[in-house]
Structure 1
């Protein structure tokens, strides 16, 4: 296995374990064992567990935005609804147990580190994303729409753990359609 393949394997295993068991519930020894790499391999790529968590969050965020961008065309009739549908598909595939970024905020709150900054930054980007869609659609109440749709996606993510991704997405799509219709 090449150096970059080992790094990718570490990140993949770490993300899966962090997602399934939480950041505090997983140690480096478990990651090393399940990734089937040497201890030095981990430390050659990441100087600490925090650095590994940071990179896991960055990669997850990049995948999320790539996924959303590939499913949402802002110039269509319903980019807001498309974003909600795409987020729902992401939940079913990648976030069926809740939001990894919120978990990071909870686990690292008040520690003044890059992990919390990355996780909070993800939420700010979501607000900005909807604000840009509203601007592109010529909506006057862009900040209100950004807050409403961000809240809708966050609520959908939370409800996934209670009713499942499909049902939570179904409810969210109905709300998104009503919001869009109300703002016309």
Structure 2
């Protein structure tokens, strides 16, 4: 296995295990065993478990934004609805058990600033994304609009664990349409 393939395998396995069992519920030994690599291979790529968590979060964030970019046409008449739909598909395909970034904030609050900063940065980026989109579409009070849509996506993510991604997304699309109508 080449160096980059081993690194990618470690990241993939670590993300799956962290998502399934939590950051503190998985040890490096389990990641090494399931990745089928030597201990030194892990340490050649990641200086610590915290460094591995940081890289997992960065990779997941990159995949999320690539997913949105590939599924949302910003110049459409309803990019806000497209974002909600794309987020719902992401939940169904990649995030049925809640938000990995919120888990990181909860698990590392006050203990590891870089992990917490990465996770909080993801949430802030979502807010800025909606604010820029609202501004681009000529919405009044972009900040409030962005906060409402960010809250809508966060609620959709939370409800996925209770009612499933399809049902949560269906409700969030209805709410998004209402929000758009009442803020025009």
TM-score by length of 1: 0.99
* Distance across 2 between alignment mates of 1:137 and 1:171: 23
Query: Are residues 1:23 and 2:13 paired?
Result: no
Match in the other structure for 1:160: 160
Q: Secondary structure at the match of 1:77?
A: coil
Task: Provide the secondary structure at the position in 1 that maps to 2:25.
Answer: coil
Q: Secondary structure at the match of 1:33?
A: helix
3-state SS of 1:161 partner: helix
- 1:35 aligns to 2:35 (yes or no): yes
Report the equivalent of 1:129.
129
Structure 2 alignment gaps of length 5 or more: none
Match of 2:47, SS state, is coil
Match of 2:86 in 1: 86
The CA deviation at 1:113 is 1.9
Decide whether aligned partners of structure 1 residues 116 and 98 sit closer, same or farther in structure 2, where only a CA change above 3 A counts: same
User: Residue 175 of structure 1 aligns with which residue?
Assistant: 175
1:37-56 maps to which residues of 2 (within 5 A)? 37-56=37-56
Measured against aligned partners, the alpha-carbon deviations of 1:95-149 in whole angstroms (never above 9, x if no partner) come to 0000000000000001142000000000000000000110110111100110000
Looking at structure 1, the residues matched to 78 and 183 of structure 2 have their Cα atoms a distance apart, in angstroms, of 12
C-alpha contact (below 8 Å) 1:74/1:136 kept by paired residues: no
TM-score, with normalisation over the residues of structure 2?
Answer: 0.99
Q: Which of 10-19 and 66-75 deviates more? A: 66-75
Q: What's the offset of the Cα at 1:75?
A: 1.1
- Which structure 1 residue ranges, 5 or more long, are not aligned? none
SS in 2 for 1:107: helix
CA distance in 2: counterparts of 1:73 and 1:182, whole angstroms: 23
Q: Which consecutive aligned stretches of 4+ in structure 1 deviate over 2 angstroms post-superposition?
A: none
In structure 2, how many angstroms separate the alpha carbons of the residues matched to 1:112 and 1:52? 13
- Root-mean-square deviation (Å): 0.6
